[in-house]
Amino acid sequence: MITGQDRRRFPRMRTAWPVILEAADGRVGVGQIIDVSLTGMRVNTDLDIEPDTPLMLRVTLPKDTGRLEVLVKVARRDPRGFGVSFLTLEGEAERIAPFVAPGDIRRWARRVAVSLPIRIETGSEAAETLTGRTIDLSTSGGRVTVEGHLTVGDVVVVELPGPDVGGILRLPSLVWEAYTGGAVVVFANLARGEYLKLRDYLGHFA
């Protein structure tokens, strides 16, 4: 569980992410996420929302990694908009972590040492596929060996053998560190179902 002290410890990152806001009463607005941490976000918008109001935020993420849909609650107002806190902290924190504090989240998220064969898709063509193995994994990412070269900032898909016979897990990822023979990847914008499946999957190796 993340405590109040932890909330103060987690850094905030300045952003400029477009967002659509939707309230339960049907009001819809647009704005911009101006900073984000593992516990919440600050939103710049003209939409008039009172504290404690729940909202659905549809955030366009950077690096062509898609959109994040997250349930939040308005925590406080300020002249530029308002701050929100995540209502489903565990999952949302780990999904937003690649853009905020990958080092912190890799220490916070429980890692398991496991060697699994992987494929890494770096493009749409069959030739743009690398093979390798995992060194360790968590719900936020992992360390891998790779037969080939990756570049920091690459948007890739990491394919793991799935929990079902013949199944696979396909995880959109960012290359956070790259070195000869390996890399550190962080899973970017996992859908809620993907996150839960990965969490349960890793539980078999813990």
Q: How far apart are CA 73 and CA 159, in angstroms?
A: 34
- Output phi, psi for 14, to 5 deg: -70, 135
**Cα–Cα separations (whole angstroms), residue 54 to 6, 11, 20, 70, 128:** 23, 24, 14, 11, 43
The angle formed by the CA atoms of residues 113, 171 and 200, to the nearest 5 degrees, is 55
Do the domains at 4-92 and 109-203 have one common CATH topology?
Answer: yes
As assigned by CATH, the class of the 109-203 domain is mainly beta
pLDDT interval class at 11 (50, 70, 90):
low
Q: Where are the domains of the chain?
A: 4-92, 109-203
* CATH number 3.20.20.140 given to 4-92: no
Greatest alpha-carbon pair distance for the chain in Å reads 54
Tell me which residue of 131, 136, 129, 127 sits closest to 117, measured CA to CA: 131
pLDDT bin (cut points 50, 70, 90) of residue 3 is very low
Task: Reply yes or no on whether the pLDDT at 123 is more than 80.
Answer: no
More confident residue, 3 or 167: 167
Model pLDDT, residue 43: 94
**What are 152-177's pLDDT values in tens digits?**
778 889 999 877 766 788 988 878 78
